[in-house]
Amino acid sequence: MELNEEIYRIKSLLTENTNPYKIRVISEIETDRGYCVYYLTESNDVIGVVTLTDLNKVLENKEFNNDVKFLHENYDKSKNTAYLHSIVVESPFRKQGFGTKLVKECENIARNSGYKYITATVKKNNIPSQTMFNKLGYTKYNSNDKKDLFILSID
78 or 121, which is more confident: 121
Give the pLDDT score at 78: 85
Q: Give the pLDDT mean for 150-155.
A: 94
Q: Give the pLDDT mean for 116-124.
A: 96
The Cα 84–Cα 103 span in angstroms is 8
Range(s) of the domain holding residue 149: 3-153
Q: Does residue 13 carry a pLDDT above 60?
A: no
23 close to 38: Cβ distance less than 8 angstroms:
yes
pTM above 0.75, yes or no: yes
* Number of domains observed in the structure of the chain: 1
Burial bucket for residue 57 (CB in 10 Å: 0-12, 13-18, 19+): middle
**Which domain CATH number covers 92?**
3.40.630.30
